[in-house]
Amino acid sequence: MKTIELKAPYLIFIGDETIDGFAKTGFGIVEWRRSLCKGQMNVEGGTVDLGLPPMTIKEATEANVKSLIIGTAAIGGGIPDIWIDTLVEALLKGIDIVAGVHTRLKEIPRLREAAEQSGARLVDVRNPPEQIPVGNGKKRTGRRLLTVGTDCSSGKKYTALALEKDMKGRGMNVDFRASGQTGIMIAGKGIPIDSVVADFISGAAELLSPDNNPGHWDIIEGQGSIFHPGYGAVSMGLLVGSQPDAFVVCHEANRKHMMGWDNFPLPTIRELIERTIQIGKLTNKEIRCVGVSVNTAQLTPEERKKYLDNLSQKIGLPCVDSLKNGTKKIIDYLEIAFNIK
């Protein structure tokens, strides 16, 4: 399959990071793919603790680690000089380096040379695979669910991962499909859809959720919002190429405007559902919304319950906060809507 693919198990590298918030990628991998993580590694000055066993490159090699994943975003998005010795040591042991930082790994001469010497890979999860085709719009086998948002950063990745986990918990045949760099590091594969050349957005989305068994569900990580003035085209191409049977709307309670685009009010959830169905019908006539996941971190428990109950009554669909309540109600609804079991 023409997607990025990482080799497990992993050593999560958090460098000299001292602030948990900048190590979100590392925490995400541990949260969702703990079984693939052998250990964590800081360099001098680093204090972030992901809760994994600390490990040197030598110990990682003995533990058969295949990839060192850079799980932190340094200020400026580069690779600090004080990381290089460690990364070179890993490469020379045949361990891939995986990163989503702004600087291309291949542009750092010492890393490039070490990789060439050992045959280990420099995997930049911001680089889409080559030779992505134009989308053909043909119906694929298997089922698909896409998370869509009223804005960026509204819980689309989290909700998709929570759905995957909870559906697996019910014994369903399901795969999370990552369309962004952190998602790719968590899933171990995927395509950074926002970095694909414009003509190939829906084609990339088609590669992301290929033909599968009739009872299988792909849970596809959405990007941006079809109502976003900057990123809307990415969201639309992902929607059309994903040809989802079902979608879940993701929203942050009380957010009124697009983050960073203050002149753009958020669409209502009703508007987003209608527009998603209109556009999604191009490649899947049966597309339907199966629920809403709201980030209610800003609300008290009482406010949360009231907010979700009101919303659910208004739109006639299950509304949850995936982080606080899990996705049970949405999956219950999905099972009925699609005659599952």
Interface contacts to its own copies, rule CB under 8 A: 134-138, 193-199, 201-203, 227, 229-234, 236-237, 240, 261, 263-264, 275, 278, 282-283
Residue 202 CB, shortest distance to its own copies, in Å, is: 6
Residue 307 CB, shortest distance to its own copies, in Å, is: 26
- Closest to its own copies by CB, 258 or 299: 258
Residue 99 CB, shortest distance to its own copies, in Å, is: 19
Angle between helices 232-242 and 201-208 (to 10 degrees): 50
Residue 248 CB, shortest distance to its own copies, in Å, is: 21
Residue 174 CB, shortest distance to its own copies, in Å, is: 25
Nearest residue to 287 (alpha-carbon basis) of 330, 337, 332: 337
* CA contacts within 13 A on the Cβ side of 124: 19
**220 near 179, Cβ under 8 Å?**
yes
Q: Which two tokens stand for residue 248?
A: 């879940």
- Closest to its own copies by CB, 73 or 97: 73
- Closest to its own copies by CB, 162 or 236: 236
- Closest to its own copies by CB, 83 or 231: 231
**98 near 125, Cβ under 8 Å?**
yes
- Closest to its own copies by CB, 276 or 325: 276
- Closest to its own copies by CB, 41 or 204: 204
End-to-end CA distance of the chain: 30
Q: Which two tokens stand for residue 54?
A: 């600390």
Residue 195 CB, shortest distance to its own copies, in Å, is: 6
Residue 223 CB, shortest distance to its own copies, in Å, is: 9
- Closest to its own copies by CB, 19 or 197: 197
**315 near 270, Cβ under 8 Å?**
yes
Residue 98 CB, shortest distance to its own copies, in Å, is: 21
Q: In what order do the strands lie in the sheet with 143-149?
A: 174-177, 217-220, 143-149, 246-252, 288-295, 319-320
Q: What is the DSSP letter of 57?
A: H
Backbone phi, then psi, for 299, in 5-degree steps? -105, 155
- Closest to its own copies by CB, 1 or 197: 197
**Residue 149, H or E segment:** strand 143-149
Q: If you write DSSP's letter for every residue of 237-290 in order, what string do you get?
A: HHHHHH--SEEEEEEETT--EETTEEEEEPPPHHHHHHHHHHHHTTT-TT-EEE
Query: Three-state SS for 155?
Result: coil
Q: Which two tokens stand for residue 129?
A: 């695979």
Residue 278: exposure state from Cβ atoms within 10 A (0-12, 13-18, ≥19) = exposed
Residue 136 CB, shortest distance to its own copies, in Å, is: 7
Query: Three-state SS for 78?
Result: coil
- Closest to its own copies by CB, 10 or 247: 247
Nearest residue to 61 (alpha-carbon basis) of 104, 120, 125, 17: 120
